[in-house]
Structure 1
Amino acid sequence: MGCGTSSKVVRELPGSSFPLSWGKGLGRGSCGPLQTGEGKAEQRGHWGTHEAVAEAAQKIQVARYRAKFDPRVTARYDIQALIGRGSFSKVVRVEQRVTKKPFAIKMVETRVKEGREACESELSVLRRVSHCNIIQLIEIFETKDRVYIVMELATGGELFDRIISQGTFTERDAIIILKMVVDGVRYLHSLQITHRDLKPENLLYYHPGAESKILITDFGLANSGNKNGDWSMNTICGTPEYIAPEILSRKPYTNAVDMWALGVITYILLSGFLPFQDENHMRLYRKILKGKYSYKGEPWPNVSNLAKDFIDRLLTLDSNHRMSAVQALNHPWVITMAIKSPMKNLQRSISWNLMLRKSPHSRCSRSAQASESGHSSGSIHTWGNKLVNKTGTFG
């Protein structure tokens, strides 16, 4: 699943000097409610002590990882904080010494066969892509046993975390987001690259500002075709809730699997629910293979028929009849309603439904992704465990 922690490289609290790593981090309510009098002063003192200890520990940790870096890297970049770790890699936030711009560096241990193969797989994609809505590779440093991958730093957070935090969310907002994502997918498909793991966690805002672009990240499962020009795939992989039916049917498949995943993402984006969900994977797969979902419950009565048609044309069982990325960008909902879309605020219903995902099941470790990507989601919801199974069986 990429080179340890994938291109989704950072999640930081605005204004904080502490790195918020995936799964741990500092919660907004860590110190409890504000108090008055002695209690309030005592709490400030306690927080100050905690802050000092954490800062000291961070400095020791950064110094330890800085010492492991190749001198060529530290000559160009100032290592600032560890922000992720995986089976074969560690990711640090850095600052370029000359420009003072922030970046992320993934240090991959390539002495291990699995780490080397995973790194080569992801780099084969990152070296080829250059698009405003796709995480960018900046440069690479290679040594005998390590590869240092310098990438863009995405600090704006995950897609749905922002929807929950903002006051309004309309179909027009959804269209703005989807146009960026679909155009990125269109670009990938034009290069015969299939992402194979599109999901909300892999869609990050570049910066916290309101006008931030969306970045598609995590190319650990991406396929870039083969030398014979055969672009069909057979490997069973992905995240269960987003896997297309043709993959579950163990049939050769194409980049249309990305469009199915976009249909699932759009459904969630407009409702806060998954179209197909079940804690039992086998039951989930049967639901996907049937392709049956509904538009019942809030906020669907307030969602336009054109938006539902957009979803229907993506969640089509026959991949040959599924919309392509180009067709999705030209769908009437995207073309006409970007200008004249319903202005009904769906945020309250969507946020409530998203919050319902905050359950013991949704917070569980994403087995394959947690071990390979080096993080468990720090957001309030987790949308599924990544499945990588090359044996052709499901478990």
Structure 2
Amino acid sequence: MPPTPTTVPCQYRTGKTLGSGTYAIVKEAVHIKTGKYYACKVINKKLMEGREFMVRNEIAVLKKISSGHPNIVTLHDYFETANNLYLCFDLCTGGELFDRICAKGNYHEPDAADLVRTILKAVKYIHDSGIVHRDLKPENLLFRTPAEEADIMIADFGLSRVMDEERFHLLTEICGTPGYMAPEIFKKTGHGKPVDIWAMGVITYFLLAGYTPFDRETQQQEMEAIIAGDYKFEPEEYWVNVSETAKQFVRECLTTDPIKRPTAGGILKHPWLAKPHFVPDPASPHGGPTDLLPHIQKRLDARTRFRKAVWSITAMKRMSLLAGVGGSELSEKIHKYKEESEKEELNEASGSRG
């Protein structure tokens, strides 16, 4: 675990639980002296036994890039108690990407391009810092505040890795969220920064239509479609209002050969990001862009219902692979350890500053 020199009285008080991940819960925390609020990732030590490298790695990545870019969450502090590890991040209160889009009332292709450009600039910064994120997806794109002009932030660096440029190597373990994973991850041929560009292609497709390009009936079929690069801009009713330039941008990101896939710096120069592209709305008196929200909303409503069922299964499978134990046994363990994390009164504990 991170270095733990001296034990000091804890400087935070935890509040409500904001969410729950694969091996951690996220709680609101207030810094007692400053009154400033943070999102605090609480990781039960027992749950991480044998997998401490995951937390150590997340801290190493975040220390390297924290505070360096306005669109990347900052790790402000980390410490541990007898039972838990605590990582304190920016508290992003503006909600997830698609919740924000749906709340807007209207949404056009240039809006999607603006979002993609902003995220890609942050991805370029991450890559220039020698890091690959490996889990870019809409759920990890959060808005800093509810304000309309709020920054969008890349969050959750739990699967990120520092790429050793001196001693060039490729990562080979399977990781990420299936629908956003690049072909080379499934093929185990070695992967690196190009996986993030592939994920950006999937995110862009999603931003334009409200569903992912490799949606299939089973995970096996989805994996086969990804490896083959088998996707279409269909059904046509969802794509008739999207420009050919946007589709070309998606195609370039979804190049199956990682060597031929553009870099973050290269794809940022694409015409779709250089100036507004859109299909004019025939009903608009000034020939403005067509509103993409009605179709996206329709698909997202169906996806939200489906996602709730799938998320718990995916999280369980991911933890089973990590822990090498059966589903029901693991389910009990996770529930028990997360309950322990939830109950710990941080203001009564002592923490060791990292």
Q: TM-score range by the shorter chain?
A: 0.7 to 0.9
CA contact (8 A) 1:275 1:294 kept: yes
CA contact (8 A) 1:237 1:390 kept: no
1:353 aligns with 2:292: no
Residue 233 of structure 1: how far off its partner (Å): 1.2
What is the TM-score with the length of structure 1 in the denominator?
0.71
Letter in 2 for 1:299: Y
Letter in 2 for 1:351: Q
Letter in 2 for 1:161: D
Letter in 2 for 1:324: T
Which stretch has the larger CA shift, 337-346 or 118-127? 337-346
Structure 1: which 5+ runs fail to align?
4-69, 372-384
1:312 aligns with 2:251: yes
Structure 2 partner of 1:294: 232
Match of 2:142 among 199, 204, 217: 204
1:100 aligns with 2:100: no
Q: What's the CA shift string for 1:330-382, capped at 9, x where partnerless? A: 111101228999622111111112222244x43214247645xxxxxxxxxxx
Structure 2 partner of 1:79: 14
Distance in 1 between the 2:279 and 2:217 partners?
Answer: 39
Residue 258 of structure 1: how far off its partner (Å): 0.7
Question: How does 1:1-395 map onto structure 2 within 5 Å?
Answer: 72-73=9-10, 76-85=11-20, 89-110=24-45, 112-114=48-50, 116-129=52-65, 130-143=68-81, 146-226=84-164, 229-296=167-234, 297-337=236-276, 343-359=289-305, 361-367=306-312, 370=315
Distance in 2 between the 1:388 and 1:328 partners?
Answer: 36
Distance in 1 between the 2:136 and 2:320 partners?
Answer: 14
Q: What's the CA shift string for 1:59-87, capped at 9, x where partnerless? A: xxxxxxxxxxx8632xx333322333457
Count residues with an aligned counterpart: 307
Distance in 1 between the 2:23 and 2:220 partners?
Answer: 30
Letter in 1 for 2:143: Y
Instruction: Compute the RMSD of aligned alpha carbons.
Output: 2.8
CA contact (8 A) 1:239 1:387 kept: no
SS in structure 1 of the partner of residue 163 of structure 2: coil
Letter in 1 for 2:155: T
Q: Residues 147 and 229 from structure 1, CA distance in 2 versus in 1: closer, same or farther, beyond 3 angstroms?
A: same
Residue 388 of structure 1: how far off its partner (Å): 8.7
CA contact (8 A) 1:368 1:387 kept: no
The percentage of aligned residue pairs carrying the same residue is 35
Residue 148 of structure 1: how far off its partner (Å): 2.3
SS in structure 2 of the partner of residue 148 of structure 1: strand
Distance in 2 between the 1:86 and 1:175 partners?
Answer: 29
Q: Residues 187 and 293 from structure 1, CA distance in 2 versus in 1: closer, same or farther, beyond 3 angstroms?
A: same
Which stretch has the larger CA shift, 161-170 or 361-370? 361-370
Q: Residues 303 and 220 from structure 1, CA distance in 2 versus in 1: closer, same or farther, beyond 3 angstroms?
A: same
Q: Residues 287 and 339 from structure 1, CA distance in 2 versus in 1: closer, same or farther, beyond 3 angstroms?
A: closer
Distance in 2 between the 1:83 and 1:364 partners?
Answer: 19
SS in structure 2 of the partner of residue 174 of structure 1: helix
Structure 1 partner of 2:346: none
Higher normalized contact order (CA 8 Å, seq sep 6+, divided by chain length): 2
Which stretch has the larger CA shift, 325-334 or 90-99? 90-99
Structure 2: which 5+ runs fail to align?
281-287, 324-354
Letter in 2 for 1:366: W
SS in structure 2 of the partner of residue 187 of structure 1: helix
Residue 92 of structure 1: how far off its partner (Å): 2.0
What is the TM-score with the length of structure 2 in the denominator?
0.78
Residue 311 of structure 1: how far off its partner (Å): 0.5
Letter in 1 for 2:266: Q
Q: Residues 291 and 386 from structure 1, CA distance in 2 versus in 1: closer, same or farther, beyond 3 angstroms?
A: farther
SS in structure 2 of the partner of residue 251 of structure 1: coil
Distance in 1 between the 2:271 and 2:22 partners?
Answer: 45
CA contact (8 A) 1:88 1:115 kept: no
Q: Residues 289 and 86 from structure 1, CA distance in 2 versus in 1: closer, same or farther, beyond 3 angstroms?
A: closer
Which stretch has the larger CA shift, 141-150 or 324-333? 141-150
